[in-house]
Structure 1
């Protein structure tokens, strides 16, 4: 099979940059006719790029100046994973340079910064810009999305979506950039985790019309690099009670993002309750999806099904094997590359998160901050 090669540069050589490189190395796992090749990397710390130079044979350039990647005609697309305060300038420069962009959430440190990125996207319609969000590509989540598209749920009564982990449960963990407003922004855990939570609801038109938030700082101080305790400025956990109003339905939706959720290593979940059908999926039990079909007068019984390995793109792996986080990253990258090559003729219908969805998430998080300050339910702009 002749494959279309997409030449990538990576800006930000930390954990997620390495995850992308590992996914690219497993591309033979997929049955597709396109392939990413990482040819250049950039990080402000030269030491961070050494891993790529040692582990990724296709890398021919490493630099501390990201503009060198943008000026290189041998690079088609960029994956960018940098702190939130750097998003606006770097993302805008990538888009202006005509490079396709898959950027990390939240696409700007705040709503104003995000709007600058969205405005630049509108000026360059030929450049594909998407936001990283891999969890909807788990087979169980992907199937739940298919059920939503098929309209199985009847009248939706309630939706709950969340992303919980416990990496910050230990108060001895040193403070980092995500605990500082100057680098992470006021959103705190919402900016860091919220796009994952909102990706699928927004994709299906479930944009909140109002928000009442409960935001908490669980660990208020952490040691710095010298061991002295310094303030944690950002929110650890957030619960957002929202109301969704579509053309034909109205229902409550609970969105939650938690950095401190004891017992949860990395749990993403979505639950949809309807009059005809209900379903839920959680990465806590990644092999299973639960569903409850209902017809009036019949018994009510949850069905627990082991879902096969298959996600959006077919692989060499048989259905009896288990799917994991690295597989979801591989599937997300496949969706991004598929859209670069085939645009509206993608091999499957689920796209990566769009700039418009990132903008909608900023509107929700900004309203959540206002709700926290006022103690009131906040109506989103342009909504009833």
Structure 2
């Protein structure tokens, strides 16, 4: 068993999810590699000490990420910090020669993202990937398999989205995602967007233009003192795009919503084609809807329960239901697999790349320009 020694920078919710995934590694079958969390860093030492108390392999707890990066026994880093810290910390991680799985959006804006890409180019032996777990749901993974098999025919149109509803409550306390200084001008696009564009970009569906509809639904929220303060960032975004590939053109609708009533954590993708149409949503995690079509034949959607089967085999029986923590475990397996085996990965779906994150930055930058001009903006 090859152990990949990880440091975690940012010990909040997603850092704890990684710790849980590492602790459940035996859930995966027939792998000869595993992550081992050996160091943690957070500005709030109480958050870092959560790991010290629960993860026996942790030997370094610090509030100085440079101390973690100087540790020669650390192979890789998972970094989950607010967007305004991405450029500096990600660049330092890469220059330190540590492999990186970082949270989206890989920089607060396009300039910050370009600084990260420059560091990657200067350090080609460092593996850098972006966290995006939803494509590892069995239904989403199957939709991707059908793309690789060329089963859709000519694409008619595509819709993808990621919707939350917790921010519908106007009394919810303001956080860093509501401030331009820490979240960036992208608002919900930076926070949710890579999840929405990950699969379309992986399939080669790059928008050639965008018309953006952006909305601020709740204008102010209480701070820690109970004072009402402005919400500076976008709550919801709907992006209408045209896709042009070498052999076809079609419309694509992308939506990112922090305020979508009734949706706790809904990610979905829908692909309509001349030979096959299909859709998957985490609202119904066991089901894939599909419509195979032959000319002159019937047009009937069918709903199929998908077995508990994703990129990597597990000890769980196929009749059981797959969940968010399972998707995170699968994503981590893909990252570790690529780190250990490179192009000889055990299965073909790898984590979101820095180049895909960069494409998302260009899209969201164009979307902001579209909002200002109230017009369709061509992608640079």
| Range of TM-score over shorter length | over 0.9
Which residue is equivalent to 1:79?
78
Question: What is the rounded CA distance, in whole Å, between the counterparts of 1:105 and 1:71 in structure 2?
Answer: 24
Whole-angstrom CA distance in 2 between matches of 1:89 and 1:177: 18
TM-score by length of 1: 0.98
Task: Give the structure 2 partner of residue 152 of structure 1.
Answer: 151
User: What pairs with 1:197-212 in structure 2 (closer than 5 Å)?
Assistant: 197-212=196-211
Separation in 2 of the partners of 1:339 and 1:69? 23
Q: Could you say which residue in structure 1 is the equivalent of 2:126?
A: 127
Query: Any residues of structure 2 matched to 1:168-183 within 5 Å, and which?
Result: 168-183=167-182
Deviation at 1:231, TM superposition (A): 0.3
Measured against aligned partners, the alpha-carbon deviations of 1:208-266 in whole angstroms (never above 9, x if no partner) come to 00000000000000001111100000000000000000000100000000000000000
d(CA) in 2 for partners of 1:297 and 1:232?
53
Measured in 1, the distance between the counterparts of 2:49 and 2:111 equals: 35
Residue pairs, 1:179-328, within 5 angstroms: 179-328=178-327
Distance 2:83 2:164 in 1: 20
1:67 and 1:14 map into 2 onto residues whose CA distance is: 19
C-alpha deviation, 1:69, in angstroms: 1.1
1:303 is displaced (CA, Å) by 1.2
2:3 corresponds to which of 2, 5, 10: 5
Find the counterpart in structure 2 of residue 376 from structure 1: 375
**1:122, 1:301 → 2: CA distance?**
49
How many residues are paired up?
379
Give the corresponding residue for 1:52: 51
Gaps of 5+ in 1: none
- 1 CA distance for matches of 2:302 and 2:32? 37
For 1:140 and 1:331, the matched residues in 2 are separated by 13
SS at match of 1:271: strand
Q: SS where residue 168 of structure 1 aligns?
A: helix
Paired residue secondary structure (2:308): coil
Q: Helix, strand or coil for the counterpart of 2:108? A: coil
1:6-31 residue CA offsets vs partner (Å, 9 max, x unmatched): 00000000000000000000000001
**Distance in 1 between the 2:218 and 2:209 partners?**
28
| Alignment RMSD (CA, Å) | 0.4
**Alpha-carbon distance in structure 1 between the residues aligned to 2:259 and 2:54:** 33
Q: How many angstroms does 1:55 deviate by? A: 0.8
Kindly report which structure 2 residues correspond to 1:107-118, keeping only aligned pairs within 5 A, or say none.
107-118=106-117
Secondary structure of the corresponding residue to residue 112 of structure 2: helix
2:168 aligns to what SS in structure 1? coil
SS of 1:106 mapped into structure 2: coil
In structure 2, stretches of 5+ residues that fail to align are none
Cα distance in 2, alignment partners of residues 348 and 119 from structure 1: 29
> Displacement, 1:129?
0.1
Instruction: Please report how far the alpha carbon of residue 40 of structure 1 lies from its aligned counterpart in structure 2 after TM superposition.
Output: 0.4
Give the C-alpha shift of residue 167 in structure 1.
1.4
Give the Cα–Cα distance (whole angstroms) in 2 for the partners of residues 299 and 183 of structure 1: 52
Matched, 1:24 2:22: yes
TM-score (ref. length: structure 2) = 0.99
